[in-house]
Structure 1
Amino acid sequence: MDRTLPRRAARADLAFVAICALLFAASVAATLAQHASMATMGELPLPGGGSLSMLWMPTCGRTWARAAASFVGMWIVMMAAMMLPSLAAMLLRYRAAVGARVQAGRLAGFTLLVAGGYALVWSALGLAMFMVGDAFAMLELRWPPLAHGMPSITGVVVLLAGAVQFSGWKARHLACCRATPSVAVAVGPAGAFRCGLRTGVHCCCSCAGLTALLVVVGVADLRLMAGLTAAITAERLLPDGMRAARTIGVLVGGGGLLLLARAASVG
C-alpha cells in the first residue's frame, strides 16, 4: 500500500479547509458591505407600527428584473456567509467518501460540482423569496389592514418557525443533511452535481423555519444572521442534531410569543 496517498489526501483536505475559510471571510466582508449599502435604502413606515423595507421592491430608476437580480446576488452572498461552515463539513464527508475512487485532480472538480448544485438550489430559493416578498409588499401598500396586522403576522410566523424545529419534517431533512453522500450515486460529474442538488433541497427544507424567521424579522439584521449561522452549524455538527434543533425551537418560539405580546399591547 502506498503510504503517501493518505498524506496527499490529508494535505488536499487541509488546502480545501483553507480555501473554505478564505471564502467564508470574503463572504462575511461582502455581507457587511451589503449591510452598509442597504442601510441607505431606508424603510417605508406602515400603519400598526411596522415598516416596509425598500429591499423588496424596485426603487426609482430600477426595473423589476434588476431589483430581483440585485436581491438574488445579495442572497447568495448572505447564504455563503451563513451556510459555509456546515457546507464545508458536508463537502469534507463527500471527499472522504469518494476520494478513494477518483483521482485527486478530478476530486477537486467533483467537489466544485457538488457545491455548484447546492448553490443553485439556494439561488432559486432566493429568487422565489424575492417574488413572494415583492408581491406581499405590494399587498401591504394597497391593503392597509394587512399592513396594520403585520406585527402580529410576524409573531405568528416566528412562533411557527419555532414549532417546525420539533417536527418530523425537520428531523428527516436534518438527518439527510448530516448523512454522508452515497458513493454509488455521487461519483462522476453528473452524480456530483445531483448530489449537490439533493443536498441543497434537503438543506432548504431543513432550514425552512429559520429562513422564514430571517425573512419576516429582517434580512439585513446582522445579529439575527449571526445567530442563525450558529444555530444551523450546531444542528449539523453537534452529535445530537435534533436536540440542538429543539433547543433552537424553544428560543425561537419564545421570541414569537414576545412579538405577539408586543403586537397585542400596541394594537
Structure 2
Amino acid sequence: SGMDEGPGTPLHNLPAFLVGWVVMLTAMMLPSELNYITAFAAVLRSRHSVSVASVSRVSSFIAGYGVAWITYGLAAYLLDLVVRSIGPELITWNRGGPYVAGSVLIIAGVYQVSSLKHV
C-alpha cells in the first residue's frame, strides 16, 4: 500500500523499512560477502584449529558487517525524515525534481572521469 506513488514515495514506518532493508541487504550483499567470510574463516583455520573461538570470530565478523549496513540504513532513514520535515518545495518532483535528478546524474558522470575517482 502506498508504494506506487512514484518518485519521492515515503519510506513507510521504521519497522517496515528495517525489515525491507535487511531483506534487501541479505539478497544483494550476502552473495559477495560470502567470499570474504570464507577467506576470513580460511585465515583463522590456517592459524588455529577450528574451535569455538574461531566460530565466534566468524560470527562477530558477520555481525559487524550487518551492524554497519543496518546503521547506514538507519542514517538514510533519519536523513529522509529530516528532509521530509523541512519540506523543501524546490525539490518536489513536479517542480525541481527532474533538475535535481539530472544534476545528480551529471555530477556522477563527471566524477567517473575525474582524477578524484582515481585518487
Aligned with residue 90 of structure 1, among 6, 30, 36: 36
Aligned partner of 1:145 in structure 2 is 90
State the distance in 2 between where 1:122 and 1:169 align.
25
What does residue 120 of structure 1 align with?
67
Q: Which runs of 4+ in 1 moved over 3 A?
A: 158-172
CA distance in 2, matches of 1:164, 1:72: 31
Q: 1:41 maps to which residue? A: 2
Give the whole-Å Cα distance in 2 for the aligned partners of 1:151 and 1:113: 43
SS in 1 for 2:51: helix
Structure with more of its chain in helix, by fraction: 1
Unaligned runs of 5+ in 1: 1-39, 45-49, 58-66, 173-267
TM-score by length of 1: 0.38
Q: Rate the CA distance shift 1:87–1:131 in 2: closer, same or farther, 3 A.
A: same
* 8 A Cα contact 1:43 1:54, kept in partner: no
User: Counterparts of 2:114 and 2:18 in 1: how far apart (Å)?
Assistant: 29
Aligned counterpart, 1:111: 58
Contact between 1:76 and 1:123, CA under 8 Å: does it hold in 2?
Answer: yes
Aligned residue identity for 1:87: E
Work out whether residues 43 and 52 of structure 1, in 8 Å CA contact, stay in contact via their aligned partners in 2: no
Q: Secondary structure at the match of 2:8?
A: strand
- How far 1:167 moved relative to its partner? 6.4
**What RMSD in Å do the two structures reach over aligned CA positions?**
2.7
Structure 2: tracts of 5 or more residues without a match: none
Change (3 A) 1:41 1:87: same
Aligned length: 116
Say which of 129, 132, 153 aligns to 2:79. 132
Paired residue for 1:52? 8
Report the CA distance between 1:130 and its aligned residue: 0.4
The percentage of aligned residue pairs carrying the same residue is 25
Deviation at 1:102, TM superposition (A): 2.4
